[in-house]
Amino acid sequence: MSTDTVPDQEHDDIMYPQVLPFLLVHAGCLAAFWSGISGTAIAIGVVLYWLRMFAIGAGYHRYFSHRAYSTGRIFQFILAFLAQSSAQKSVLWWAAKHRHHHLHSDTEQDVHSPRHKGFFYSHVSWIFYRQHDATDLVKISDFASYPELMWLHKLELLPAFVIAGLCWLIAGWSGLVVGFLWSTVILYHATFCINSLAHVHGRKRYVTGDDSRNNWLLALMTMGEGWHNNHHAYQSSARQGFRWWEIDVTYYVLLALSWLGIVWDLKKPPEQVLRNEQQLGSRVISRTAAQLAARFNPESIAQAIKSSLQETELSVRDALHLLRHPADLHVPSMPTRDQLVAEAQRMFAKTISLDDIVDRAHELLIESVSLLLVIPPQAVHVKSQGNMAFAPGHPHIK
């Protein structure tokens, strides 16, 4: 349980007042009409964008969320400070939410899945809902033990104010507006696109049980974070561009820092992962099988079986037995294993765990159809709302 205050779940739909500062930062960009746009301010903005993007990718994400490499406390603090200067909440909040995301990626428990609550919610608005405001310090206990990181956590906007002040001192109001505000807003949406666009547009090389995708354009904008499907296939890798042509600037900088002894133990994906020959975990297989089973309508299958029973001497019990043991007689309308395999090959990337996915999907489909043969669909729908556990992947059965 989080050591932070957990918000009242009855008011999860209420948005916090900090949405106002977020909107003001965007509106403040228009002050460039008054402050002017100087060359120094533009240079500051460019440097700040790439410096803080590195801090977010290498710090917030690969180090604090996934421990993809090791470093000392000084550089750890520098990464956290620079990342927090982006005003994307504290390092502990960010990493805890991201770890939760990977546990429940694109399920109903995911905090920012476009599959369930739409693109805009996944892109930005989820941040401002009360249910996401608390920090689960248990999920990030390995870093919450550092007092300097807890200090940053409690003063999450301090780094942003410090950097903003430096911009003003160097280049005046233009430095503040163009150098700081412009780069911050662009940084916001480039980062947020990984939660939203990288789960909607792109290519899937690996079966990961979620909607993560590789997007080369996002990878260029975010110094390598756009190779998102690669990342979900092997989360602890310091390198997210697995192929030589997948540009991953964050990794290149980390590699250079490792030559200087500032970081070390950069983790890499195993050869099995690089060759896409890894055995999938049970959680990924279950999620993927549920997606496959959901392609078939158990209600239509059950109705067809019931209709056929009226034309034969078979009972419901006989039909249930045949569902489980279809050795000599194929059950009407029930997809064959070959049909499941063909649909799985069409839906998913290449994987050596395809047979496991198909077998599990077949089990889920049998469970759904069997239940509908015994209990009318209306009763199943009512009972599913009463939190009874039924086969996943069907809109009326949970």
Could you read off the pLDDT of 276-290 as tens digits, one per residue? Answer: 999 999 999 999 999
Residues 206 and 325 both lie in one domain: no
Residues 243 and 327 both lie in one domain: no
With bands split at pLDDT 50, 70 and 90, how would you rate the model's confidence at 19?
confident
Q: In terms of Cα–Cα distance, which of 225, 223, 200, 203 is closest to 214?
A: 203
The lowest-confidence range among 49-53, 195-199, 365-369 is 365-369
Domain boundary among the residues 228, 258, 274 is at: 274
Bridge partners, 71 (sequence order) = 263
Q: Is the pLDDT of residue 373 over 80?
A: no
Instruction: Kindly report, residue by residue over 161-207, the tens digit of the pLDDT.
Output: 999 999 999 999 999 999 999 999 999 999 999 999 999 999 999 99
With bands split at pLDDT 50, 70 and 90, how would you rate the model's confidence at 315?
low
Residue 393 forms part of a structural domain: no
**Pairing mode of beta strands 263-264, 70-71:** antiparallel
Residue 15 forms part of a structural domain: yes
Domain boundary among the residues 245, 274, 303 is at: 274
What letters, b where the CB count within 10 A reaches 16 and e where it falls short, cover 6-32?
ebeeeeeeeeeeeeeebeebeebeeeb
Please give the DSSP secondary-structure letter assigned to residue 296: S
Residues 316 and 169 both lie in one domain: no
Q: Is the pLDDT of residue 230 over 50?
A: yes
For 24, list phi and psi in degrees, rounded to 5: -65, -35
Residues 36 and 128 both lie in one domain: yes
Q: What is the mean pLDDT of residues 7-35?
A: 76
Residue 131 forms part of a structural domain: yes
The lowest-confidence range among 9-13, 30-34, 302-306 is 9-13
Residue 202 forms part of a structural domain: yes
Residue 392 forms part of a structural domain: no
Rounded alpha-carbon distances, angstroms, from residue 263 to 76, 88, 142, 212, 233: 10, 24, 18, 28, 24
- Give the rounded distance of the alpha carbon of 357 from its chain centre: 21
Residues 88 and 158 both lie in one domain: yes
Handedness of CA 381, 384, 390, 394 (dihedral sign): positive
Instruction: Give residue 314's pLDDT.
Output: 57
Bridge partners, 394 (sequence order) = 397
- To the nearest whole number, what is the mean pLDDT of the chain? 86
Residues 309 and 163 both lie in one domain: no
> Could you give the CA distance from residue 350 to residue 337 in angstroms, rounded to a whole number?
18
- C-beta of residue 98 within 8 angstroms of C-beta of residue 104: no
Residues 216 and 159 both lie in one domain: yes
Residues 211 and 350 both lie in one domain: no
> What is the largest distance, in Å, between two alpha-carbon atoms of the chain?
89
Q: Is the pLDDT of residue 380 over 90?
A: no
Residue 231 forms part of a structural domain: yes
Residues 366 and 338 both lie in one domain: yes
The SS3 call for residue 256 is: helix
Q: What is the mean pLDDT of residues 312-338?
A: 61
Residues 230 and 322 both lie in one domain: no
Look-up: residue for tokens 């997007």?
215
Residue 218 forms part of a structural domain: yes
Q: pTM to 2 decimals?
A: 0.85
The SS3 call for residue 335 is: coil
Residue 323 forms part of a structural domain: yes
Above pLDDT 70, what percent of the chain?
82
Bridge partners, 15 (sequence order) = 129
Q: Is the pLDDT of residue 80 over 70?
A: yes
User: Domain tally for the chain?
Assistant: 2
Domain boundary among the residues 274, 301, 322 is at: 274
The lowest-confidence range among 64-68, 104-108, 386-390 is 386-390
- C-beta of residue 205 within 8 angstroms of C-beta of residue 233: yes
Residues 147 and 172 both lie in one domain: yes
Name the residue range of residue 207's domain.
9-274
Residues 14 and 129 both lie in one domain: yes
